[in-house]
Amino acid sequence: MNYKKKKFTLLIANDDEDTRFLMEEALREVRLAITSEFVENGEQVLDYLYRRGQYFASSNWHQPDLILLDLNMPRLDGRETLTSIRSDPHLQQIPVVMLTTSHRRGDILLCYRLGANSFISKPVTFEGLLEVMKTLCEYWFEIVSLPPDM
């Protein structure tokens, strides 16, 4: 269990503004100390992780404890982003959960082959999303032992 670390950083990549808003609302209901960072595509995920561009001199930057990745995003999609993360020895220990609208068996299989830690199909209601976010955060931030920051 993660008793020593009190504040967790969650990096969420999703290109849909409404979904980002709903996820932010759901996270407010989660009773854990979580800082959430939202980006819109895979390029921004990598910029965040490598502290490039707008994240270069950010005093609020923290390595994420968990990444939630949408599958279909512009510029660099979730598959390509996951491949980049898993190919870098400095990033590959960060858990990555695919949170997407896809239910396709091929997408699920490919994401696991690329190194995803979990694959979750997004619920269609806010209540469903709230339940997923509560369960997801409880699991990753209260139950499992996360790797230390590198």
Tens of pLDDT, residues 67-120: 999 999 998 999 999 999 999 999 999 999 999 999 999 999 999 999 999 999
Helix (H, G, I), strand (E, B) or coil at 52: coil
58 located within any domain: yes
129 located within any domain: yes
- Of the candidates 50, 54, 44, the one whose C-alpha atom is nearest the C-alpha of residue 77 is 44
Tens of pLDDT, residues 54-66: 888 877 788 999 9
1 located within any domain: no
148 located within any domain: no
Whether the pLDDT of residue 3 is over 50: the answer is no
Distances (CA, A) of 35 to 48, 89, 91, 109: 14, 24, 19, 30
101 located within any domain: yes
d(CA 138, CA 140): 6
Tell me which H or E stretch contains 38. Answer: strand 34-39
53 located within any domain: yes
Q: How many domains does the chain have?
A: 1
Work out the pLDDT band at 31, boundaries 50, 70, 90: confident
Tokens representing 7? 């504040």
3 located within any domain: no
User: The domain spanning residue 90 has which CATH number?
Assistant: 3.40.50.2300
- The DSSP annotation for 69-119 comes to E-SS-SSS-HHHHHHHHHH-TTTTTS-EEEEES---HHHHHHHHHHT-SEE
33 located within any domain: yes
What domain range includes position 97?
A: 8-143
pTM of the model: 0.92
- Of the candidates 86, 83, 112, the one whose C-alpha atom is nearest the C-alpha of residue 98 is 112
Per the model's pLDDT, the better-predicted residue between 150 and 15 turns out to be 15
